[in-house]
Amino acid sequence: MKIQAMVTTGVMDFEQQTLVLDEPKSDEVLVKIVATGVCHTDATILDKSIPVPYPVVLGHEGSGIVEKVGGNVTTVQPGDHVVLGFTYCGHCDNCLDGNAGGCESLLPLNFGGKNKHGETPLHTENDQDVSQFFGQSSFATYATVDEGNVIKVDKEIDLRYLGPLGCGILTGSGTVLNSLTPEPGSSFVVFGTGAVGLSGMMAAKIAGCYPIIAVDIHDSRLELAKELGATHTINSKQEDVITRIIEITGKGAHYALETTGVPEVILAGIRSLRVKGEIAAVAVGTRDLALNVFTDIVGPAKTLKGVIEGDAVPQLIIPKLVQFFKNGQFPVDKLVKFYEFNQIEQAFADSKNGSTIKPILILDKTYKA
Ligand SMILES: NC(=O)c1ccc[n+]([C@@H]2O[C@H](COP(=O)([O-])OP(=O)(O)OC[C@H]3O[C@@H](n4cnc5c(N)ncnc54)[C@H](O)[C@@H]3O)[C@@H](O)[C@H]2O)c1
Ligand SMILES: [Zn+2]
Ligand SMILES: [Zn+2]
């Protein structure tokens, strides 16, 4: 079928084109995209920090309505509302262990341009292949995806808000709920209060952490962090982070989530932990980090770990996050600003300059919640 898609062929480049999308195979699902989040990881492809085969249709936080399913698909049917997640193989050691975010094939499956069949369902009208991204390529009016990429969600919830639950929001909240697993009453710090950090912070509140400290360099973001559950905020341009965190927590923090990717911030995060403290790093940073192995990590028995996609199985965590959203415990709508599809460049610019936390592009303007 013919679809409209934003095709990227070079650095910071989008061109709306008519593409040809393959029909779903027996294990695939055709989804009409209603809306899609813009994630910082899309921007890392646009500035070529991470390579993908060009041309590509980016977008990996889609939400939409199932249009058609292949013959072997059992978990969704036409008309179902779905969030699109990342691709995982389902049979490596980590997938079998319930840690799809740690899938051994995560990078080739999501950044390699091809789906599980080793193909792309996207082609130009002259029959040239266009790479698929994260098994979905949601900067398009329709997507043909593997059944494992779709997560059925409650039809009562406004679908336009739910796409980011597939990546950025799942990453922050899953890292806290699945990987750090803080005990109620334990202290928690988030470095960077973008979509990932704020989601992690809201999850820390659900987990019963206290105090909850938010660190950023923008006061407007820290204001929102307070509204969403931070008990303390630190503008690291104005105050010394390590001193303040130790003042607030007494002995340093039990847990921290690092979303800036700035090596100096990661080091400050490690140094503001208490003995046996744990910090999870999730940002796509490109610079090296230098630390003292003994005084920073081994001596105080601290843990620095990298976490991908919140150590989560999307089918398990996303319905829970939707429920938290419905209950008012997880107000992701406060992070969001809607844009039209052709305002995609503005959406990326506003994310970069910090004026919008989570841009969401509306693909289907006829959708009514
Ligand atoms: N690991 C994963 O699976 C995964 C998934 C999704 C996103 N990510 C990555 O997570 C990171 C965060 O994503 P996001 O959408 O929240 O990005 P974002 O840019 O919206 O948020 C980053 C925040 O860090 C703050 N910041 C920047 N420099 C700082 C500094 N020196 N000190 C304190 N704060 C600082 C910014 O002001 C901003 O609020 C990105 O690198 C993204 O690519 C990783
Ligand atoms: Zn796997
Ligand atoms: Zn993402």
pLDDT tens digits, 145-189: 999 999 999 999 999 999 999 999 999 999 999 999 999 999 999
168 in contact with ligand 1, CB cutoff 6 A: yes
Closest CA to 209 of 233, 182, 230: 182
Q: How far is the CA of 12 from the centre of ligand 1 (A)?
A: 19
- Which residue's CA is the nearest one to ligand 1's atom 29? 260
- The owner of tokens 């990881």 is 41
Q: Residue 62: nearest ligand to its CA?
A: 3
What is the pLDDT confidence band of residue 363, given thresholds at 50, 70 and 90?
A: very high
| Cα Rg, the chain, nearest whole Å | 20
Q: How far is the CA of 279 from the centre of ligand 1 (A)?
A: 15
Q: How far is the CA of 261 from the centre of ligand 1 (A)?
A: 7
- What pLDDT is recorded for position 178? 95
Q: How far is the CA of 85 from the centre of ligand 2 (A)?
A: 14
Residue 114 CA to residue 138 CA, distance in Å, equals 14
- Which residue's CA is the nearest one to ligand 1's atom 36? 192
The answer to whether 200 touches 190, Cβ cutoff 8 Å, is yes
Residue 142 has pLDDT above 80, yes or no: yes
pLDDT tens digits along 70-104 = 999 999 999 999 999 999 999 999 999 989 989 99
40 in contact with ligand 1, CB cutoff 6 A: yes
**Phi, psi torsion values for 19, nearest 5 degrees:** -120, 165
Q: Which of 94, 234, 260 to mutate to test the pocket of ligand 1 (most atoms within 8 A of CB)?
A: 260
Q: Name the CA dihedral angle for 189, 282, 46, 36, rounded to a multiple of 10 degrees.
A: -80
* 88-102, 119-133, 263-277: range with lowest mean pLDDT: 88-102
What is the pLDDT confidence band of residue 298, given thresholds at 50, 70 and 90?
A: very high
Q: Which atom of ligand 1 is nearest to the CA of 192?
A: 24
221 in contact with ligand 1, CB cutoff 6 A: yes
Using DSSP, state whether 89 is helix, strand or coil: coil
What is the pLDDT confidence band of residue 354, given thresholds at 50, 70 and 90?
A: confident
115 in contact with ligand 1, CB cutoff 6 A: no
Q: How far is the CA of 90 from the centre of ligand 2 (A)?
A: 5
Q: Which atom of ligand 1 is nearest to the CA of 193?
A: 39
* Cβ-based neighbours of 106, under 8 Å, separated by 6 or more: 86, 87, 88, 308, 309
What is the pLDDT confidence band of residue 356, given thresholds at 50, 70 and 90?
A: very high
Q: Residue 261: nearest ligand to its CA?
A: 1
- The owner of tokens 């601290």 is 302
Q: Which atom of ligand 1 is nearest to the CA of 44?
A: 43
- Which residue's CA is the nearest one to ligand 1's atom 34? 216
- What pLDDT is recorded for position 73? 98
**188 DSSP β-pair partners:** 212, 255
Q: Which of 38, 40, 86, 352 to mutate to test the pocket of ligand 1 (most atoms within 8 A of CB)?
A: 40
Written as six digits, the tokens of 292 are 């003292």
Residue 72 CA to residue 141 CA, distance in Å, equals 24
Count of Cβ atoms closer than 10 Å to residue 326 Cβ: 12
Mean pLDDT, all residues of the chain: 96
What pTM value is reported for the model?
A: 0.93
Q: Residue 90: nearest ligand to its CA?
A: 2
Domains present along the chain, CATH in parentheses: 2-152+331-362 (3.90.180.10), 172-308 (3.40.50.720)
- Which residue's CA is the nearest one to ligand 1's atom 40? 283
Count of Cβ atoms closer than 10 Å to residue 69 Cβ: 22
Q: Residue 105: nearest ligand to its CA?
A: 2
